[in-house]
């Protein structure tokens, strides 16, 4: 959902196609929904059995379910169950309306895709869309102490920087352009950033922002997850923009082509997308308020906390639960299980905080033409805000009289400052930063919202690929994807 995170495993890649083939090679098992004879040490009883059990009902899980619905038309006896611990689908991409009537998206404020099938599913699910001009900016304090809004992507708009920062960034970009075509093999994400953007932009912006977003130093991350090759910087164009700006004329930010506009649901926020996608699936597949608490890989029986603890057998499982949590709930006689649990414990992730501020009146002029703003500096707890009220009137109780900002902050996995990351302190720190930036005044505030996700974004740590390349084949050998 985050546009700036380009992974190699994009839809249509060889890896995705291979996974898809694995998932659907269980067709020989197809049969009617049945009971399974499960024997314990002292008794024998029947548990419900499904060909496929899906854990979670976020976008990934719903995408798998959509494909299974198509498969079920060919194999009508295919039995499927979806276990979701919350009361509605959406997962990390859900939306929630607070007691004052403000609607808050949890993460991923747009459904962005290069995948035609994905777009078709959304087109069939959502009837009414709002189209908005994409207006992304970075608010950054220059070497002269002045904060400036720089259009995104920053590397194409350095003319707005103060001259010290501008000179550093241009020098680095010139070095990158001069080396274009020279093979690079960065050992970590830190080296990848310098190699692709130059040392100047890295020091002025990229290192600060990426550390704030990922919560770890870029040198502790791999670069395998960055799947798209970047176009070398156009130094001539950058210099022309600097000259135009210095002459007192705004050069205009770089064209975004097809990405100049984005679409957003007219009603119910981004969470409404996934509720609508889920509504196109058989309701009987979903079991809400059902938290998976254990899994026996020997018997292929999963334990689920519902109103009471129940057990279900599966032929194939698709899990979208956090991998470390999922692996640690597994029991079985496989001697390598403990090794898998140990490896999973080394996976790194961030905790995500969503802070919503509902406001009366109108946004200040400096925010009227902005949709997203990114914050690399340390004077704000959040790394990004969205002017959410500008996406749809449905996001506020009284359109035209009220507006809203939703902020995202990333808490490190291993947090050594517990007091800072409390709900009360984080809301207060967010409000103080918004006041400092002159986005709001205290008397505007009519609603405060906060939600914390223990597992926010998975961090592509240096060892992550090696860990996944060990754990995932092991799970697949047991019918788990």
* 462 vs 187: CA distance, rounded Å: 9
Q: What is the pLDDT of residues 162-175, one digit of tens each?
A: 999 999 999 999 99
Q: Phi and psi dihedrals of 240, rounded to 5?
A: -65, -40
Which residue shows structure tokens 């800072």? 420
pLDDT at 158: 96
Q: What angle do CA 384, 140, 184 make, to 5 degrees?
A: 85
Residue 123: closest CA among 278, 273, 275, 266? 273
Query: Taking a C-beta distance cutoff of 8 angstroms, is the pair 440, 359 a contact?
Result: yes
Longest dimension (CA), the chain: 86
Residue 259, both tokens: 């990405």
Helix (H, G, I), strand (E, B) or coil at 221: strand
Contact between 236 and 52 under an 8 Å Cβ cutoff? The reply is no
Q: pLDDT (tens digit, 9 = 90+) per residue, 41-94?
A: 444 668 899 999 999 999 999 999 999 999 998 999 999 999 999 999 999 999
By the 10 Å C-beta count (0-12 exposed, 13-18 middle, 19+ buried), 143 is classed as: middle
Burial of 69 from C-beta contacts in 10 A (0-12 / 13-18 / 19+):
middle
Point out which residues pair with 261 in neighbouring strands: 133
Q: State whether residue 88 is helix, strand or coil.
A: coil
Task: Give the residues of the chain that fall short of pLDDT 70.
Answer: 1-45, 108-109, 181, 183, 228-231, 251-258
CA distance 419 to 117: 45
């Amino acid at each position: 959902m985050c546009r700036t995170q380009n992974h190699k495993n994009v839809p249509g890649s060889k890896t995705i196609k291979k996974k898809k083939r694995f998932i659907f090679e269980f067709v020989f098992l197809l049969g009617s929904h049945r009971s399974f004879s499960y024997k314990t040490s002292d008794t024998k009883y029947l548990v419900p059995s499904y060909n496929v059990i899906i854990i979670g009902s976020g976008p990934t899980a719903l995408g798998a379910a959509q494909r299974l619905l198509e498969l079920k038309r060919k194999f009508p006896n295919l039995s499927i169950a979806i276990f979701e611990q919350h009361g509605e689908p959406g997962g990390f991409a859900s939306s929630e309306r607070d007691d004052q009537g403000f609607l808050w998206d949890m993460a991923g404020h747009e459904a962005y895709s290069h995948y035609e099938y994905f777009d078709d599913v959304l087109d069939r699910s959502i009837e009414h869309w709002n189209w908005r001009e994409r207006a992304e900016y970075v608010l950054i304090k220059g070497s002269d102490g002045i904060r400036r809004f720089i259009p995104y992507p920053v590397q194409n708009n350095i003319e707005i920087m103060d001259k010290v920062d501008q000179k550093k960034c241009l020098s680095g970009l010139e070095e990158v352009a001069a080396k274009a075509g020279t093979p690079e093999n960065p050992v970590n994400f830190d080296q990848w950033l310098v190699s692709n953007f130059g040392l100047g932009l890295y020091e002025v912006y990229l290192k600060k922002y990426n550390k704030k977003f990922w919560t770890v130093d870029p040198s502790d991350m791999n670069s395998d997850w960055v799947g798209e090759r970047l176009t070398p910087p156009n130094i001539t164009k950058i210099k022309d923009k600097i000259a135009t700006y210095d002459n007192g004329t705004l050069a205009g930010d770089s064209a975004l082509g097809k990405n100049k506009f984005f679409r957003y649901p007219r009603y119910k926020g981004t969470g409404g997308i996934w509720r609508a996608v889920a509504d196109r699936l058989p309701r009987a597949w979903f079991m809400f308020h059902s938290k998976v608490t254990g899994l026996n890989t020997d018997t292929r029986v999963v334990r689920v906390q519902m109103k009471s603890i129940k057990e279900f057998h599966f032929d194939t499982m698709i899990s979208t639960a956090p991998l470390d949590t999922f692996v640690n709930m597994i029991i079985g006689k496989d001697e390598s299980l403990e090794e898998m649990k140990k490896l999973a414990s080394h996976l790194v992730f961030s905790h995500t905080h969503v802070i919503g501020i509902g406001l009366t009146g109108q946004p200040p002029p400096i925010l009227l033409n902005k949709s997203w703003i990114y914050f690399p500096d340390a004077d704000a707890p959040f790394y990004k805000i969205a002017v959410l009220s500008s996406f749809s009137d449905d996001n506020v109780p009284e359109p035209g009289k009220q507006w809203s900002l939703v902020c995202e902050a990333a808490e490190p996995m291993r947090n050594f400052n517990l007091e800072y990351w409390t709900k009360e302190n984080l809301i207060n720190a967010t409000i103080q930063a918004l006041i400092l930036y002159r986005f709001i005044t205290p008397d505007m505030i009519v609603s405060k919202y906060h939600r914390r996700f223990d597992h926010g974004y998975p961090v592509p740590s240096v060892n992550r690929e090696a860990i996944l390349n060990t754990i995932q084949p092991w799970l697949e050998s047991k019918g788990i994807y």
